[in-house]
């Protein structure tokens, strides 16, 4: 498995999915809190089959990176020295690595959940670096627009696993809990109050680079949901000056839309949006 070393000496493990045929673009896939890139294999394979080179890392403290970093599954999700700032910096280092390996291809950033918040931060800092951004399970990172409470509250019952909020297919939640490379520890416990506060922010004013953006959200997503995502889209249009912002809401879907019952249709929507902006190359 390839890896790179971040500024604190942490080896970051990542996967590469080569594109079928002539590549049309390269995708940097940014996973969410407490999980790892391996949970996006079907999405990465679909993107690769459609002509996209896909890079997907296990962030600091997460998945294979976290096991190398800590050697203890009980510590998965903890970011280590440098905290959240270092996690963002490592992702930017990864973006530069991808650009260096594919200097002639457009770079698309696809972030889910916490990964979508990391992607928002990267876009604020380096808008010129990305040719399109896709955010799933995202939200406006502002008090009142981001759920800091019990994400599983609508599905409370005596036999609930606590992971029903992830997808309407209950097997998704059970698989998450059984996965040795995931953790269900809450964000505040993993990050601490200071790093948790660093998640808050709004899209930067006047980005100066008109990046196409796709926002995808489940109608029953409890992290932010459609209301928060529509507010995020408005902020990108009005604050950041983006002219190509698309929002897709999936009724009945929960947080992990790429693991939902209708995931094939959702992947097809993503590919159609990308393909219209990055035509196939001969």
pLDDT digits (tens, 9 = 90+) for 63-121: 999 999 999 999 999 999 999 999 999 999 999 999 999 999 999 999 999 999 999 99
Q: Is 282 among the domain residues?
A: no
State the CATH number of the domain containing residue 73. 3.40.50.1820
pLDDT digits (tens, 9 = 90+) for 136-161: 999 999 999 999 889 999 999 999 99
Q: Is 231 among the domain residues?
A: yes
Q: Stretch 219-231: mean pLDDT, rounded?
A: 98
The yes-or-no verdict on residue 199 having pLDDT over 90 is yes
Task: Work out how many domains the chain is built from and give that number.
Answer: 1
Give the H or E element holding residue 218: strand 213-218
Which pLDDT score, from 0 to 100, does residue 131 have?
98
Residues near 198 by Cβ (< 8 Å), separated by ≥ 6? Answer: 83, 84, 85
CA distance 207 to 125: 9
**pTM, full prediction:** 0.97
Which pLDDT score, from 0 to 100, does residue 148 have?
82
Which pLDDT score, from 0 to 100, does residue 14 have?
98
pLDDT digits (tens, 9 = 90+) for 36-73: 999 999 999 999 999 999 999 999 999 999 999 999 99
Percent of the chain with pLDDT over 70: 100
User: Contact, 144 vs 150, CB < 8 A?
Assistant: no
Q: Is 51 among the domain residues?
A: yes
How open is the CA angle 202-149-144, to the nearest 5 degrees?
Answer: 35
Q: Stretch 8-33: mean pLDDT, rounded?
A: 98
SS3 268: helix
pLDDT digits (tens, 9 = 90+) for 261-270: 999 999 999 9
* b/e code 241-251 from CB counts within 10 Å (16+ = b): ebeebebbbbe
Q: Is 40 among the domain residues?
A: yes
Domain range for residue 17? 3-277
Average pLDDT, rounded, for the chain: 97
């Amino acid at each position: 498995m390839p890896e790179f070393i971040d500024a604190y000496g942490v080896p970051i493990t990542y996967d590469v999915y080569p594109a079928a045929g002539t590549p049309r673009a390269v995708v940097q896939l940014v996973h969410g809190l407490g999980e790892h890139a391996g949970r996006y294999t079907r999405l990465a394979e679909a993107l690769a089959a459609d002509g996209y080179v896909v890079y997907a890392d296990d962030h600091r403290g997460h998945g294979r990176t976290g096991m190398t970093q800590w050697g203890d599954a009980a510590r998965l999700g903890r970011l280590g020295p440098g905290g959240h700032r270092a996690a963002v910096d490592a992702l930017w280092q990864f973006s530069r690595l991808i650009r260096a390996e594919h200097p002639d291809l457009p770079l698309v950033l696809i972030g889910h959940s916490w990964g979508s918040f990391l992607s928002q931060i990267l876009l604020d800092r380096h808008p010129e670096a990305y040719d399109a951004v896709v955010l799933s399970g995202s939200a406006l990172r502002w008090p009142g627009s981001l759920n800091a409470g019990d994400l599983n509250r609508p599905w409370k019952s005596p036999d609930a696993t606590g992971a029903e909020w992830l997808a309407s297919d209950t097997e998704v939640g059970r698989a998450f809990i059984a996965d040795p490379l995931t953790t269900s520890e809450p964000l505040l416990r993993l990050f601490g109050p200071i790093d948790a506060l660093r998640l808050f922010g709004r899209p930067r004013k006047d980005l100066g680079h008109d990046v196409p953006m796709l926002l995808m959200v489940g109608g029953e997503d409890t992290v932010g949901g459609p209301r928060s995502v529509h507010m995020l889209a408005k902020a990108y249009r009005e604050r950041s000056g983006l002219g190509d912002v698309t929002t897709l809401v999936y009724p009945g879907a929960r947080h992990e839309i790429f693991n939902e019952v209708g995931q094939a249709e959702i992947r097809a929507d993503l590919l159609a949006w990308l393909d219209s902006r990055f035509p196939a190359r001969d």
